């Protein structure tokens, strides 16, 4: 593996892992609220959360660029605080996180819905408050589904292209992830090198999906 | 023990539960056919359901709006609802510390550190009983504890229930559709049909009276 390939692979894995970790808490929170509660605006939130799945990734990227650009409503505020997002590795993480979020929420929601609410109710009769019920009953029983969702979200993040290229650009050595590098190499006619990276992409995706499925099978057993 | 349900109403799928009831014996059976609302009454007392109207008073304390964790009831549901990811020990100590007398009376020592999935039906029932007892409840709510247990095991589980009644001072509210169980365990019986109380008396009197035809029809089911 060449130094460039190593750098591309390292950047991709690091940013995808960070994006996945960053969406875990909000993702679990929203998934739990969607699975266990009725509240006003629930359908709206459900739709908003699913949007990145169905919207063109480039459109999501454009939206993020507008929001987080130096003159954007969030970007202006972040810039004032000394944090620039667009065209940096942070934008890569942002695009990956936004695009992977629906997958994590969906998997976690199904996992929470599969936990028998009677077990949670019974734990309450034994003196447990909401936090203890969540930590000792709901979360462990939903864990396999959640981990499987995290792996799928990670795999999606690794493959992210459309939103990333808009909001992070395609800067070799800085924001050029596996997908973007493959695109670059093909554009330049370096198909052989592109195929080498393709093999890495396939291996990562295969491993993530395989492990995720294994987790789900263990849950069903 | 005193349990009072004052003008409790709750709309169910096929009828409306409408119950006013005061019970004060140490072991009370709620007797009625399947779908009479027996389990619903236990869930109302445990706080797992909220009535449309009325008051629930446990030992003089109005618990209608008290969350389940503060009601101090030990609920043993028909399906046991053991926590599948926890060992027997962690299941039974979920609501309170281990007590050797409970372990001895229910003969749990041989399988304390096993997973609950490996237990037989009778063992699971004993674990569910121990879990409820160790939470130091003011009343034990037993939902058809002998249902779905084969004839031989029934006698054994009933023996354990009688042992619990003898060894611990905790009052019991016992739901069943089996006449023999009422006679074997209860001092007082409340007859329920389609969400209405149709009779309440000491079990001795109930036995002496010619059983109502509708009750005798259930006696051999």
Model confidence band, residue B214 (pLDDT cutoffs 50, 70, 90): low
Q: Going along chain B, which residue ranges are E strands?
A: 3-11, 16-23, 27-31, 53-58, 61-62, 73-76, 139-143, 172-176, 188-193, 196-202
Q: Kindly report the nearest CA distance between residue A140 and chain B, in angstroms.
A: 7
Decide if A116 and B47 are in contact by the 8 Å CB cutoff: no
Q: With an 8 Å Cβ cutoff, are A118 and B94 in contact?
A: no
- Chain A residues with CB under 8 Å of B77 CB are 118, 122
Within 8 A of A128 by CB-CB distance, chain B residues are 69, 94-95
Position with higher pLDDT, B152 vs B88: B88
- String of DSSP letters for B13-27: SSSEEEEEEEE-SSE
**Set of chain A residues whose Cβ sits within 8 Å of the Cβ of B74:** 125
Q: Is the pLDDT of residue B219 over 80?
A: no
Decide if pLDDT at B221 tops 50: no
* Residue of A118, A121, A126 with shortest CB distance to B94: A126
Between strands B188-193 and B27-31, the pairing is parallel
B85 to A141: CB separation less than 8 angstroms, yes or no: yes
ipTM value > 0.85: yes
DSSP states of A159-219 as a string?
A: H--HHHHHHT---TTTT--HHHHHHHHHHTT-HHHHHHHHHHHHHHHHHHHHHHHHHHHHH
Tell me if B35 sits within 8 A of B175, measured CB to CB. Answer: no
- Sheet with B27-31, strands from edge to edge, namely B73-76, B139-143, B172-176, B27-31, B188-193, B196-202
Burial class (CB in 10 A: 0-12, 13-18, 19+), A123: buried
Residue A126 pLDDT exceeds 90: yes
Measure A114 CA to nearest chain B CA, in Å.
13
Chain B residues within 8 angstroms (CB to CB) of chain A: 46-48, 67-71, 73-75, 77, 79, 81, 83-85, 94-96, 131-132, 135
Burial class (CB in 10 A: 0-12, 13-18, 19+), B153: middle
CA distances, A25 to each of A104, B174, B194 (Å): 10, 43, 46
Q: Tell me how far apart the alpha carbons of residues A62 and A52 are, in angstroms, rounded to a whole number.
A: 12
Q: Do B69 and A125 touch (CB under 8 A)?
A: yes
> CB–CB of A127 and B95 under 8 A?
yes
Q: Which residues contact A110 (CB under 8 A, 6 or more apart)?
A: A35, A145
Residue B210: predicted pLDDT: 47
Q: Which of B70, B95, B102 is most worth mutating to test chain A (most A CB atoms within 10 A of its CB)?
A: B95
CA–CA gap between residue B221 and residue B219 (Å, rounded):
6
- B206 pLDDT band, cuts 50/70/90, is confident
Residues of A with CB under 8 A from a CB of B: 116, 118-119, 121-129, 136-137, 140-141
Q: Which of B46, B69, B81 sits opposite A127 (nearest CB)?
A: B69
- The reported pTM is 0.84
User: Is residue A147 predicted with pLDDT exceeding 60?
Assistant: yes
pLDDT of A20 above 70: yes
A174 and A89 Cβ atoms separated by less than 8 Å: yes
Could B48 and A124 be called an inter-chain contact, meaning their C-beta atoms sit closer than 8 Å?
Answer: yes
The average pLDDT across B123-147 equals: 93
Distance CA(B12)–CA(B120), nearest Å, equals 33
**Can you name the residues that pair with B188 across neighbouring β-strands?**
B28, B202
A126, A130, A135, A219: best to mutate for the B interface, most B CBs within 10 A: A126
Q: Say whether A137 and B83 touch across the interface (CB within 8 A).
A: yes
pLDDT at B141 over 60: yes
> Is the CB of residue B128 less than 8 Å from the CB of residue B80?
yes
Average pLDDT over residues A83-96: 95
Range of weakest confidence among A191-195, B147-151, B160-164, B204-208? B147-151
Distance from CA of A135 to the nearest CA of B (A): 13
Of all residues in chain B, the percent with pLDDT exceeding 90 is: 65
Instruction: Inspect the interface and report whether the beta carbons of A125 and B48 lie closer than 8 Å.
Output: yes
A169 has pLDDT over 60: yes
Task: Give yes or no for a contact between B16 and B10, defined as CB atoms under 8 angstroms apart.
Answer: yes
B146-167, pLDDT tens digit by residue?
A: 887 777 788 888 888 998 888 8
Q: CA of A212 to nearest chain B CA: how many angstroms apart? A: 20
Task: Show the tokens assigned to A47.
Answer: 């739709």
């Amino acid at each position: 593996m060449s130094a460039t390939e190593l750098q591309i692979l390292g950047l991709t894995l690091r940013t995808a892992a960070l994006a996945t970790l960053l969406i875990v808490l909000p993702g679990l929170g929203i998934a739990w609220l969607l699975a266990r509660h009725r509240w006003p605006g629930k359908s709206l939130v459900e739709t908003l959360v699913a949007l990145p799945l169905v919207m063109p990734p480039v459109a999501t990227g454009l939206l993020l660029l507008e929001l987080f650009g130096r003159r954007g409503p969030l970007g202006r505020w972040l810039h004032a605080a000394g944090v620039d997002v667009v065209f940096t590795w942070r934008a890569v993480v942002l695009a990956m996180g936004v695009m992977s979020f629906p997958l994590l929420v969906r998997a976690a929601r199904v996992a929470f819905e599969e936990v028998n609410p009677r077990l949670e109710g019974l734990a309450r009769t034994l003196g447990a408050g909401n936090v203890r019920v969540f930590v000792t009953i709901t979360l462990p029983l939903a864990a396999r589904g959640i981990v499987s969702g995290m792996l799928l979200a990670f795999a999606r993040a690794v493959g992210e292209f459309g939103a990333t290229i808009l909001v992070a650009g395609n800067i070799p050595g800085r924001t050029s992830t596996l997908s973007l590098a493959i695109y670059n190499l093909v554009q330049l006619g370096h198909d052989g090198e592109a195929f080498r990276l393709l093999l890495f992409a396939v291996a990562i995706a295969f491993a993530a999906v395989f492990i995720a499925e294994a987790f789900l099978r263990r849950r069903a057993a | 023990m005193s349990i009072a349900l004052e003008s409790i109403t709750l709309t169910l799928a096929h009828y409306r539960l409408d119950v006013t009831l005061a019970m004060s014996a140490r072991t009370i059976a709620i007797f009625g056919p399947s779908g009479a609302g027996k389990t619903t009454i236990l869930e109302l007392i445990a706080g797992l359901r909220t009535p449309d109207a009325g008051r629930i008073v446990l030992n003089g304390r109005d618990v209608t709006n008290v969350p389940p964790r503060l009601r101090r009831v030990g609920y043993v549901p028909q399906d046991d609802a053991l926590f599948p990811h926890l060992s027997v020990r962690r299941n039974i100590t979920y609501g309170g510390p281990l007590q050797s007398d409970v372990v001895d009376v229910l003969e749990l020592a041989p399988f304390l550190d096993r997973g609950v999935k490996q237990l037989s039906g009778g063992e699971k029932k004993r674990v569910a009983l121990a879990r409820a007892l160790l939470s130091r409840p003011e009343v034990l709510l037993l939902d058809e504890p002998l249902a779905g247990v084969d004839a031989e095991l029934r006698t054994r589980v009933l023996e354990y229930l009688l042992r619990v009644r003898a060894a611990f001072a905790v009052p019991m509210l016992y739901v069943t559709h089996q006449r023999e169980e009422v006679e074997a365990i209860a001092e007082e019986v409340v007859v329920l049909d389609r969400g209405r109380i149709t009779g309440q008396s000491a079990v001795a009197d109930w036995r002496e009276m010619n059983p109502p035809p509708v009750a005798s029809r259930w006696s051999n089911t």
